[in-house]
Structure 1
Amino acid sequence: MQREITESIPLHDENGHITKEGWARKPLWQYDRTKIKAPKWKIKEWDYYAAISQDNGFGVALTISDMGYIGFSSITFFDFTNNYYNPVDSLFFFPMGKLNLPSKSDEGLIRYDDKKMKIEFETKEIPNDKIERKIRFNSSSLEDFHKNKGIEGELTFIQPKSDDTICIATSWKENRRAFYYNQKINCMTVKGQIKVGSKIYNFNESRDLAVLDWGRGVWTYKNRWFWSSLSSYVDDKRFGWNLGYGFSDRSSVSENAIFFDGNLYKLDNVEFIYDPNNYLKNWKIIDNEGKIDIDFLPIIDRNSNSDFIIIKSIQHQVFGYFSGTIKLEENKIIKFNNLLGFAEDVFNAW
């Protein structure tokens, strides 16, 4: 039985354990770095945004992360029409809290600035019960498919406060002080433009959507996880999902959820069926209750393989088109075809 948390509680008790493990529709756990019973170099904090234009076939992903003894920031531009992507990444050592990532997902200002890129995430509440997220970024070295060089952009993501999100707080069997506190905010509207060289890519506020992966935690050394995210429209209503497993102890709770018209529909366990020798072959995503039947046609494998002796990472974030059916309720079935999203298989040792 999955435990849903419905009231605000501290994330940690006095011993550094999660007070109540479970899932929630809002970020009800109160995160406080000072309550963590682990060295600073083990604390991991990250904000990851991805926005996709379904109709115009482009997208962008941005990361600012403080992973303790290593930091990582990134801008990646995607051209789905030409099956092309280009990242600009920065690695830096021992941030250990110096980036000042906020303790809440609905407020704060984060900046990263070096010779390769500038990124800024600004989050605040605005009138009409909404959260506004301003995303500003630039890099002189990024190129698009047509060899236009230099990217800059300013995007605005809007999240109605009434929308459900999926939040999870879990620990590891081998170390209950290691924890994963995460919120995924799907289906935020996005407006603004990206300029690459002289070419302008415009997001359509009435059609284009974005997701935020907001995470805080202390991990065990070796981990592998699977994650899929989609934010789109079906029948003129916002529709998407968060599907994932393999990371931390999920024996009592999952992060699997479908979103439709601002409402969350909870799932139990899911499975990704794919060829680990060729991530561009077709995938299948199913669940243990017969509620989802999803086919995935990959077009881009955003992959990396890093090995710095004690820090290792093998990542396959695969973008492509999803089709299938999802049973929300007994008499409510969603059918969809060729919606852009992603699924990933990631191994980290750090």
Structure 2
Amino acid sequence: MTADSSAPARPSPAAAAEAPARPERELTEPVSLTRPNGRLNTDAIGWARHPIVDTSGVGRGGGRNKRWEYWNVITPTHILALTVSSIDYAAVHEVWVLDRVRQRTWGRNATVLPARGVELPPRLEAGRATARAKDLEIDIDEVENGTRLRARIPGAEFDVVAERPDGHERLAVVVPWTATRFQYTVKDVARPARGSLTLDGMKREVPAGQSWAVLDHGRGRWPYDVAWNWGAGSGISNGRVIGVQVGGQWTDGTGSTENAMLVDGHLHKIHDELEWDYDVSNWRRPWRVTGGGLDATFTPFYNKISRTNLGVISSKTDQCFGHWSGTYRIDGGEVVEFDGITGWAEDVHNRW
């Protein structure tokens, strides 16, 4: 991995791999993320197969609250993405579309100071999320057996339903840094998607059975300086629905990870911190992510580069889109092979 000299220090992957992973606690009953005083509820530390953590205490008063919904939809020909977020002092939104064949993009970012024109539910699937800014509209609504995603910017709009099949599991994790700095994330991969996309007045189908949606739902209170990796992928390989969900850096040393594999809708939690090998100075070079029974290679075909530097606030993101392949050994010994699983792997460093 090529290091960013400005990134915060973190344990080496090799050192992390030497320590045996301690199984994280699985949450099976609803629990509040925060106590009445706004501090982390230690009873919420762990992971779950469904979004059972109540985050309504995040967003009350000041204190580095960060709330967002990020959705990504990958079709055979296009990639669609939207972000609705409130980070206390600002509302930050984005709509982005990539034509995979022509490598042409449509995009609109909006940073609204102070935060206004944004609505986010107190917890996942407990209401709608909306964003309004100049030349940008986003609506996220829960519908029967799924989530409807609508976005509009100049030259591009889409209307997609991310279906939620019966029995579909997703990874929900509480990551504790301190009693006052913590994050609840839901990473929901391999959601079948269908709908429509309109670009420059020409309507296209988001074909059912060939399109997949991924959600990153976040609620928490973050440190100022943080770096992370996130990798996700969805698709069908060898007749099985495969979802890849891996992360790193930001969870190191907390006792929590956001690592899992989804196989035919069933979540297999990976408790280990994974080893990431990549080079953002040569983004076409394949990435390797290994550990906890996973041996995965990610081969990029496009890099979405984002840079922001407003002095105290800065962000550096390389989000590479491509294909996942490899093997995953399930507890009990079964080895699942997968190939051609489309998704992304990213390297992010934020001061926010």
Instruction: Tell me if TM exceeds 0.5.
Output: yes
SS at match of 1:177: coil
Name the structure 2 match of 1:241: 244
Q: 2:193 aligns with which of 187, 190, 199?
A: 190
Contact 2:127 2:141 in 1 (8 A): yes
Matching residue's letter, 2:225: K
- The answer to whether the 8 A contact 1:3-1:252 is kept is no
* Aligned match of 2:114: 94
Structure 2 counterparts to residues 151-190 of structure 1, below 5 A: 151-160=156-165, 162-172=167-177, 175-190=178-193
**Counterpart of 1:64?**
84
Q: CA deviation at 1:79?
A: 2.1
Q: Say if 2:33 and 2:57, in contact at 8 Å, map to a contact too.
A: no
The whole-number CA distance in structure 2 between the counterparts of 1:176 and 1:214 is 21
Corresponding residue number in structure 2 for 1:143: none
1:276 counterpart residue number: 280
Residue 245 of structure 1: how far off its partner (Å): 1.6
Cα deviation digits, residues 49-80 of structure 1 (max 9, x gap): 00111xx2311011111111122111111222
Q: Partners of 1:231 and 1:339 in 2: how far apart? A: 6
Please report how far the alpha carbon of residue 116 of structure 1 lies from its aligned counterpart in structure 2 after TM superposition: 1.5
Cα–Cα, structure 1 residues 10 and 116, in superposed 2: closer, same or farther, change >3 Å?
same
Partner residue of 1:10?
A: 32
CA distance in 2, matches of 1:223, 1:263: 31
TM-superposed deviation, 1:200: 3.0
Instruction: Give the whole-Å Cα distance in 1 for the aligned partners of 2:104 and 2:328.
Output: 30
Instruction: Give the conservation status (yes or no) of the 8 Å contact 2:173–2:185.
Output: yes
CA distance, structure 2, for counterparts of residue 177 and residue 92 of structure 1: 26
Paired residue for 2:224? 221
Q: Which of 151, 165, 171 lines up with 1:137 in the alignment?
A: 151
Matching of residue 201 in structure 1 with residue 224 in structure 2: no
Q: Residues of 2 paired with 1:330 and 1:82: CA distance? A: 44
Given that residues 59 and 88 in structure 2 are in contact (C-alpha distance below 8 angstroms), is that contact kept between their aligned partners in structure 1? no
Establish whether residue 345 from structure 1 lines up as the match of residue 350 from structure 2. no
Q: Distance in 1 between matches of 2:59 and 2:103?
A: 45
**What are the Cα deviations for residues 207-248 of structure 1, in whole angstroms up to 9, with x where unaligned?**
221111111011010000000011111233321121002224
- Alpha-carbon displacement from aligned partner over 1:91-133 (angstroms, at most 9, x marks no partner): 111217x623102212312222233211111114x2xxx3x21
Determine the C-alpha separation between the residues in 1 that align with 2:232 and 2:263. 14
Q: Which moved more, 1:83-92 or 1:318-327?
A: 83-92
Task: Determine the structure 1 residue equivalent to 2:132.
Answer: 113
Residue 81 of structure 1 pairs with residue 81 of structure 2: no
Query: Could you tell me how far apart the structure 2 residues matched to 1:11 and 1:18 are?
Result: 6
Cα distance, 1:42 vs structure 2: 1.7
1:52 match: 74
- TM norm structure 1: 0.88
Q: How many residues align?
A: 327
Aligned amino acid, residue 19 of structure 1: T
2:91–2:118: 8 Å Cα contact kept in structure 1?
no
Uncovered stretches (5+) of structure 1, i.e. residues with no partner = 141-149
For the pair 1:19 / 2:42, whether they are aligned, the reply is yes
AA paired with 2:250?
A: F
TM-score by length of 2: 0.87
Q: Distance in 2 between matches of 1:83 and 1:8?
A: 44
Q: Paired residue for 2:12?
A: none
How far the C-alpha of 1:348 sits from its partner, in A, is 0.5
> What is aligned with 2:214?
211
Gaps of 5+ in 2: 1-21
Which letter maps to 1:118?
Answer: E
Distance in 2 between residues matched to 1:295 and 1:14, nearest whole Å: 44
CA distance in 2, matches of 1:276, 1:136: 32
Please give the root-mean-square deviation of Cα atoms over the aligned residues, in Å. Answer: 1.9
Residue identity matched to 1:85: T
Q: What are the residue-to-residue correspondences of 1:292-307 with 2, within 5 Å?
A: 292-307=294-309
Letter aligned with residue 134 of structure 1: R
Identical amino acids, percent of aligned pairs: 26
What is the rounded CA distance, in whole Å, between the counterparts of 2:147 and 2:253 in structure 1? 30
